[in-house]
Structure 1
Amino acid sequence: MGQIAQQPTPAVGGVTTPAPPAEPERVNIVGAWVHRVTMDEAVDHIARTLDAGKGGWVVTPNLDILHKLTHDNSFAELVEPSSLRLADGMPLIWASKLSGNPLPERVAGSDLVWNICQRAVHDNRSIYLLGGDEGVAEKAKTVLEEKYEGLRIVGTHCPPFGFEKNNEEMDKITDDLRRTNPDIVLVALGCPKQERLIEILRHQMPGTWFLGIGISLSFVTGDVKRAPAWCRKVGLEWAHRLLQEPKRLAHRYLVIGIPFALKVLIFSISARIRGSSASP
């Protein structure tokens, strides 16, 4: 069940501050939850929360992140405070349908980047790009600003490897974010590194939205080619990525991913029959 929306509160000068939107309905996928939203609804939720003067945290579970949520208690506890969880993977959509509690559509973080930038122009919101390989964030800034006239990307930063263990590097990140004061930060560091950083930053900037987007900035720049639309629609984007980076992704997709996907789908069918919501 979503939370009950708060009532608007009068602000200084008699101006009414909009109430933040209610939390969207949660859907259980093999023991982990995601929100039942479309892409448009997710973007609108972020925008309306900002209008209310509040920030938040987006996590985009795909099959790999779902595995972490159901098999790694420390990771599950880390992201439990997240504000919005978007089903970024067709296996999650299939599982929800098989369990009898269907999600409306896949809401991929890679697509969210474009949609949130478009809405940011409309609402005059500022964006910061954090992460990616060296030079990717700055290149993505150019691509996005050329596509969306009036888009305000107020800063970019690609922290070096091991930055999270270096106090000086962590200070650089927080200092630049305080200086630029963005409404939205797109954090492209991969899971779980980006989630660990967001957990730190969100307390320092409670009025900012932090979106964990993985490799998405490299998709924006074209440094990494995204799978064709038909491939994404039928749930084969993982195969496309595997062909691009077989050494790095073979274990994740072949050893962990495929067996876990089969377990998820089988469990979803049996859970529908039993009415169970336990984790496989």
Structure 2
Amino acid sequence: MKFFDFKLTVKLPTVFPQKRLIANTINPHSYCVAMNDAQFQEALRSSDILVPDGVGVVWASSFLYKRRISKISGFDLHFHFLQLLQKKSGGKVFYLGSSETALSLIIDRVNKEFPSLNVKTYSPPFKSDFSKKENEAMIRAVNEFEPDLLFVGMTAPKQEKWVFQNKENLKVKVVCSIGAVFDFYAGTIKRPSQFWINLGLEWFPRFLKEPKRLWRRNLISTPKFIFEVIRHKLTL
């Protein structure tokens, strides 16, 4: 797998899509995971929209190809599509993932910020793999609502692979896998301030708060990603 094999999206649509669209994000950690996970790699490659959610990806684009791009976070993706749906004179949005507590807070916030949108949620079991019955219940919950917009928050690569495996059975126009954005938007986990985001160091305060959960992506995946980018540069 090579970095240039991923076709990045640097400009998001300006109107809400009328045909099915799958949007995902990529950062240095997900890139490294995809190197050893064929299905995750395929899920990312098949994305209609794949945004650079990480300063490492932004740097790699500049370092390898002298192409200047901007970071587009999962949080940006979430807000952008909510705005597009709101401008469309309203619609239906479904949140699949996270806890009932977080989902309840999300409903409250969407109702305040995007009053023309109809919101529904579903909290799947917290486990690495779903049974056939659990998977069918998730798909049924989404399809009975027939949302315009589906957000999936089950952490990577689980969420991207779930969407990839089930997209043909989902009655929805736009699907976005956005992971931790559920907790950020709900307020159950505080997103780093704009100061850190502007510096390109959003990862740093998150790592300090949750070192046990994030040590692998910051201390293993990031150096590995840098090594892979430099190695690829030498072959160009």
Provide TM-score, normalisation by structure 1: 0.76
1:177-236 CA-partner distances (Å, limit 9, x unpaired): 111000110000001111121123310136521100011010011111111222123221
Amino acid at match of 2:65: G
Q: Go from structure 1 to structure 2 and tell me whether the alpha carbon gap of 1:225 and 1:34 turns closer, same or farther (over 3 Å shift).
A: farther
Tell me, yes or no, if structure 1 residue 211 matches structure 2 residue 211. no
Identify the range of structure 1 (196-205 vs 256-265) with the bigger mean alpha-carbon deviation.
256-265
Q: Is the CA contact (8 Å cut-off) linking 1:163 and 1:169 kept in structure 2?
A: no
Of 241, 260, 263, 2:224 maps to 260
Tell me, yes or no, if structure 1 residue 235 matches structure 2 residue 205. no
Question: Who is 2:117 aligned against?
Answer: 151
Question: Who is 2:105 aligned against?
Answer: 139
Tell me, yes or no, if structure 1 residue 44 matches structure 2 residue 8. no
Distance 1:233 1:260 in 2: 24
Distance 1:90 1:97 in 2: 11
Question: Who is 2:8 aligned against?
Answer: 35
**Greater length-normalized contact order (CA 8 Å, ≥ 6 residues apart):** 2
* Matched positions, count: 235
Identify the range of structure 1 (29-38 vs 167-176) with the bigger mean alpha-carbon deviation.
29-38
Question: Who is 1:74 aligned against?
Answer: 39
Q: Is the CA contact (8 Å cut-off) linking 2:147 and 2:172 kept in structure 1?
A: no
Amino acid at match of 1:266: I
Question: Who is 1:88 aligned against?
Answer: 53
Distance 1:151 1:183 in 2: 10
- Alpha-carbon distance, 1:80 to partner: 2.7
Amino acid at match of 1:130: L
Question: Who is 1:17 aligned against?
Answer: none
Distance 1:138 1:260 in 2: 38
Amino acid at match of 2:85: A
> SS state of the match for residue 143, structure 2?
helix
Q: Is the CA contact (8 Å cut-off) linking 1:135 and 1:158 kept in structure 2?
A: no
- Alpha-carbon distance, 1:246 to partner: 1.2
Runs in 1 of length 4+ with deviation above 6 angstroms? none
- Alpha-carbon distance, 1:91 to partner: 0.9
Of 144, 167, 170, 1:202 maps to 167
Amino acid at match of 1:140: I
Q: Go from structure 1 to structure 2 and tell me whether the alpha carbon gap of 1:229 and 1:265 turns closer, same or farther (over 3 Å shift).
A: farther
Distance 2:216 2:46 in 1: 29
Of 60, 63, 67, 1:98 maps to 63
Provide TM-score, normalisation by structure 2: 0.89
1:6-44 CA-partner distances (Å, limit 9, x unpaired): xxxxxxxxxxxxxxxxxxxxxx97244132423xxx142
Distance 1:243 1:236 in 2: 12
Q: Is the CA contact (8 Å cut-off) linking 1:129 and 1:186 kept in structure 2?
A: yes
- Alpha-carbon distance, 1:245 to partner: 1.0
Q: Is the CA contact (8 Å cut-off) linking 1:30 and 1:267 kept in structure 2?
A: no
1:131-179 CA-partner distances (Å, limit 9, x unpaired): 01332122112112211221222x1011012384322221221111111
Q: Is the CA contact (8 Å cut-off) linking 2:147 and 2:173 kept in structure 1?
A: yes
Distance 1:159 1:36 in 2: 30
The runs of 5 or more residues in structure 1 that have no matched partner are 1-27
Distance 1:164 1:208 in 2: 25
> SS state of the match for residue 165, structure 1?
coil
Q: Is the CA contact (8 Å cut-off) linking 2:44 and 2:50 kept in structure 1?
A: no
- Whichever of the two has the greater Rg, that structure is 1
